[in-house]
């Protein structure tokens, strides 16, 4: 093994694994980190990688030759060629100077691999004061019932044809939230159902795809969804209705849990907090 668990485990303030993202605390083992190194050699997806559902090849990989692994801190750099390219250095450790060291490594590797962006990703614990970045949230479907919402939410394909036809302009309007990409996946038949809410026979909000996959230890996990409501339809509680419909779908289809990342103090963050999700920590991503 490359990683020593007795070195790495005390440095893991939040359950974030490079190239995999948030993982359930029960799955957080040295094997996950070792698997990311093996995947870097093959260029393929790990069986439990949430990105494998989109097909193709894994774009982000660990730069295994440049990993810094020491008793008090660990730096794990990754590379993606997407867009203009990005090097991210995941900085695990407690000392304040760690971010500067990670930034220096990220800048050096970005130049060496001829990519434009260099980032430092710092996992932070759930008790962090004045956090920034994204909050990692856990929805545990075994903790209690997730009833269906009172307002009508249906899979897009279950709405009348005239309503279904309004999904394309909705998706284009919400392209910045990933809905245009999701629409292409739906048209190609490559994803699970997408739940939608409509006002006056026009789709104004959606969440999906609804898919469940086993995690690293075989527990059924509801995959992250794209989630958006048209600006002019906000303030009516539609986001909460869609969210509860998605959670009802996940529980009724046998999911054990879902992990989410929400922007600290953003609308989705407040929604998840009021819905009783558990905060597992934060990731603060900064330019090197």
3-class DSSP assignment, residue 255: coil
Question: Residues of 146-184 as b/e, b for ≥16 C-beta within 10 angstroms?
Answer: beebeeebebbeebeeebbebbeebbebbeeeebbebbe
- Nearest C-alpha neighbor of 155 from the set 211, 213, 199, 197: 197
- Classify residue 211 by its DSSP letter: -
pLDDT one-digit tens code per residue, 85-116: 999 999 999 888 999 999 999 999 999 999 99
238-252 vs 267-274: helix crossing angle, rounded to 10: 60
174 pLDDT band, cuts 50/70/90, is very high
pLDDT one-digit tens code per residue, 14-52: 999 999 999 999 999 999 999 999 999 888 899 999 988
Domain 143-255 classification at class level: alpha beta
**Whole-angstrom Cα distance, residue 140 to residue 163?**
33
Q: Where are the domains of the chain?
A: 5-133, 143-255
Q: Which helix (H) or strand (E) holds 246?
A: helix 238-252
CB 208 within 8 A of CB 224: no
CA 114 vs CA 81, 84, 99, 227, 246: distances in Å: 10, 9, 22, 34, 41
pLDDT one-digit tens code per residue, 48-77: 999 888 877 889 999 999 999 999 999 999
**Whole-angstrom Cα distance, residue 137 to residue 54?**
23
Q: Is the pLDDT of residue 143 over 90?
A: yes
């Amino acid at each position: 093994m490359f990683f020593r668990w007795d070195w790495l485990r005390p440095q893991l303030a939040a359950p974030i694994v490079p190239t995999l993202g948030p993982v359930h605390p029960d799955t957080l083992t040295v094997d996950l980190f070792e698997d990311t190194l093996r995947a870097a050699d093959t260029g393929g997806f790990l069986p439990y990688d949430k990105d494998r559902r989109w097909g193709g090849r894994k774009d982000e990989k660990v730069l295994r030759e440049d990993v810094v692994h020491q008793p008090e801190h660990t730096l794990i750099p990754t590379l993606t060629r997407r867009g203009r390219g990005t090097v991210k250095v995941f900085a695990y450790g407690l000392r304040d100077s760690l971010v500067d060291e990670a930034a220096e490594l990220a800048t050096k590797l970005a130049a060496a691999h001829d990519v434009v962006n260099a980032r430092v990703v710092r996992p932070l614990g759930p008790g962090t004061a004045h956090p920034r970045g994204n909050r990692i949230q856990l929805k545990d479907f075994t903790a209690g019932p997730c009833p269906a919402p009172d307002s009508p939410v249906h899979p897009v394909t279950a709405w009348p044809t005239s309503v279904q036809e309004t999904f394309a302009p909705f998706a284009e309007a919400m392209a910045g939230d990933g809905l245009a990409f999701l629409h292409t996946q739906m048209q190609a038949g490559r994803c699970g159902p997408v739940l939608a809410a409509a006002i006056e026979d026009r789709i104004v909000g959606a969440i999906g795809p609804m898919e469940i996959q086993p995690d690293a230890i075989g527990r059924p996990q509801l995959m992250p969804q794209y989630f958006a409501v048209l600006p002019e339809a906000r303030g009516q509680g539609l986001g909460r209705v869609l969210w509860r419909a998605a959670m009802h779908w996940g529980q009724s289809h046998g999911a054990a849990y879902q992990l989410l990342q929400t922007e600290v103090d953003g609308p989705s963050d407040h929604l998840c907090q009021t819905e009783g999700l558990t905060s597992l920590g934060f990731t603060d991503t900064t330019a090197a």
